[in-house]
């Protein structure tokens, strides 16, 4: 057997990768022709690839490495836990200290009466748990017909059958017969793309009222829950108008349905509070968490559940759980991550230092000829690329053509910035300094200039009619 190491030539690693490794959300044939970028190590907010390039990670991995790379304490916590108790389950009336301590700590951090945690291995699994949990909750109350979950188009809630069904990604639904039964979608509060000539505030209220209309259409006695990300992440960092969430909260309160806030991206400091719900004034019955809980150092997710929901669920056996629910190594790593977040005042750093600095610097990109909108909330931000800023017009070229060029120009300038169609998004590690934010903006601006020139040369600066 070949020993495969960091020291092999990039091309050899790429050939083995193409031969054997199936990538998520990737056209394998296209990638094989090009070769995957090989990341070999990372420290702080910087990645190193197999060619020795040092790349500023504007995406915190995949929206998850909140405390930054290379923290020895997390490696130590994992090693310590592996030596002491690498695995035990939490089924069959058994528990262990890492799961107890982490659940108790999360209950302390979570707002209101969100005091109970059901652990999963990922955000997708946690959302699958949520589907089963809300349906079982209503069944236990003698209302088994309350099983429909309302979500939103262009939402992202994961990639399992349940997660992808809750999500509102048309491309994902086009494969494999999704969504599963009794999940329906209303429109998103995406003013820039869909608000036409309404004010953002009127539009936000109108989009929220679609929830009330959907409840009326299907009947309150059939609706179990509404699920939403406080700020859509994978959909393109879509920050809702300020009128949106108060109206959604009013509707959930007025009708007897549960509110699930999917905090997989917005949780653990991303918006300048522990949870996005606190930033946006949302009072959920259940929160989905993952990613920043362990800063991505170990896989773990979960559902934080209110006293009321947990009490009802606890009346009977809930036939649900995962081998790795509350995995001791992941739990120990997550606890250490939360300790560092707390002791190093990382939330305060986001709120008082990094987010205000990013907000000002990011907004300055709006003067670029290709940028129709530049918005941020905490340390998540997006740019809408447009060939005609005044009209907020999309490109005539297929969606994502120019966005893809921009992403490639970012990489060429040693910056990871993701594109979602023709929106560019960032969510850097929360520990990023003002100096590195300035470097990020400098590289982004250069990439935008190069994208504009490339789009002009290829005749891509036409607006759709």
Interface residues toward ligand PXG, by CB under 6 A: 62, 122-124, 127, 156-158, 163, 229, 233-234, 262, 264-265, 288, 290, 301
Burial class (CB in 10 A: 0-12, 13-18, 19+), 174: exposed
Shortest Cβ 416–ligand PXG spacing (Å): 12
CA–CA distances in Å: residue 239 to residues 47, 245, 279, 339: 28, 11, 12, 29
Q: Which is nearer to ligand PXG, 98 or 162 (CB)?
A: 162
Q: Which is nearer to ligand PXG, 289 or 350 (CB)?
A: 289
Q: Which is nearer to ligand PXG, 269 or 387 (CB)?
A: 269
Report the candidate in 71, 49, 50, 68 with the shortest Cα–Cα distance to residue 59. 68
Q: Which is nearer to ligand PXG, 81 or 122 (CB)?
A: 122
Residues 90, 119: contact at Cβ < 8 Å?
Answer: yes
Shortest Cβ 166–ligand PXG spacing (Å): 8
Q: Which is nearer to ligand PXG, 195 or 301 (CB)?
A: 301
Shortest Cβ 122–ligand PXG spacing (Å): 3
Shortest Cβ 338–ligand PXG spacing (Å): 18
* Structure tokens, 65: 């490495």
Report the candidate in 375, 417, 356 with the shortest Cα–Cα distance to residue 237. 375
Q: Which is nearer to ligand PXG, 128 or 373 (CB)?
A: 128
Distance CA 320, CA 260 (A): 19
Shortest Cβ 156–ligand PXG spacing (Å): 5
Shortest Cβ 375–ligand PXG spacing (Å): 17
> CB nearest ligand PXG: which residue?
123
Shortest Cβ 370–ligand PXG spacing (Å): 21
Report the candidate in 374, 349, 283, 416 with the shortest Cα–Cα distance to residue 66. 349
- Cross-strand partners of 48: 41, 54
**Dihedral angle over CA of 327, 330, 331, 334, nearest 10:** -160
Q: Which is nearer to ligand PXG, 241 or 299 (CB)?
A: 299
Question: Residues in the chain, how many?
Answer: 465
What is the 8-class DSSP label of residue 394?
P
Secondary structure, 3-state, 452-465 = HHHHHHCCCCCECC
Q: Which is nearer to ligand PXG, 234 or 371 (CB)?
A: 234
CA 440-442-444 angle, 5° bins: 65
Strand 415-416 versus strand 54-57 pairing type? parallel
Shortest Cβ 329–ligand PXG spacing (Å): 17
């Amino acid at each position: 057997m070949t020993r495969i190491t960091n020291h092999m030539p990039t091309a050899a690693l790429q050939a083995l990768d193409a031969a054997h490794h199936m990538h998520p959300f990737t056209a394998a044939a296209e990638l094989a022709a090009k070769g995957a970028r090989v990341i070999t190590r990372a420290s702080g907010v910087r990645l190193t690839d197999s060619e020795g390039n040092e790349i500023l990670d504007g995406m915190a991995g995949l929206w998850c490495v909140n405390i930054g790379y290379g923290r020895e304490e997390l490696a130590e916590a994992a090693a310590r836990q592996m030596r002491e108790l690498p695995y035990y389950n939490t089924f069959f009336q058994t528990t262990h200290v890492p799961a107890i301590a982490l659940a108790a700590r999360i209950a302390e951090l979570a707002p209101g009466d969100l005091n109970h945690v059901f652990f999963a291995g990922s955000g997708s699994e946690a959302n699958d748990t949520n589907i089963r949990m809300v349906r079982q909750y209503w069944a236990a109350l003698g209302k088994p017909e309350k099983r429909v979950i309302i979500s939103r188009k262009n939402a992202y809630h994961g990639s399992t059958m349940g997660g992808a069904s809750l999500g509102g990604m048309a491309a994902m639904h086009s494969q494999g017969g999704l969504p599963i039964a009794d999940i329906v979608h209303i429109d998103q509060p995406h003013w820039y793309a869909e608000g036409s000539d309404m004010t953002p505030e009127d539009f936000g209220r109108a989009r929220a009222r679609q929830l009330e209309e959907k409840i009326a259409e299907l009947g309150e006695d059939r609706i179990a829950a509404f699920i939403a990300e406080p700020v859509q992440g994978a959909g393109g960092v879509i920050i809702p108008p300020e009128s949106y969430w108060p109206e959604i909260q009013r509707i959930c309160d007025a009708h007897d349905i549960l509110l699930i806030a999917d905090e997989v991206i917005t949780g653990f400091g991303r918006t300048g509070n522990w949870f996005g719900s606190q930033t946006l004034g949302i009072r959920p019955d259940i929160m989905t968490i993952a990613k920043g809980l362990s800063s991505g150092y170990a896989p773990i997710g979960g559902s934080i559940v209110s006293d009321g929901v947990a009490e009802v669920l606890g009346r009977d056996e809930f036939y649900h759980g995962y081998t790795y629910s509350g995995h001791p190594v992941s739990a120990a790593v997550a606890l250490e991550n939360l300790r560092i977040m707390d002791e190093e005042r990382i939330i305060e750093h986001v709120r008082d230092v990094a987010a205000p600095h990013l907000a000002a610097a990011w907004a300055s990109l709006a003067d670029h000829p290709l940028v129709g909108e530049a918005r941020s909330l905490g340390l998540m931000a997006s740019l809408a690329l447009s060939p005609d800023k005044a009209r907020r017009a999309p490109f005539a070229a297929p969606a994502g053509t120019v966005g893809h060029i921009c992403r490639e120009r970012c990489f060429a300038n040693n910056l990871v910035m993701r594109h979602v169609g023709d929106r560019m998004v960032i969510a850097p590690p929360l520990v990023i300094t003002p100096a590195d934010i300035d470097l990020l903006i400098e590289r982004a601006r250069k990439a935008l200039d190069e994208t504009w020139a490339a789009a002009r040369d290829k005749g891509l600066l036409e607006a759709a009619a």
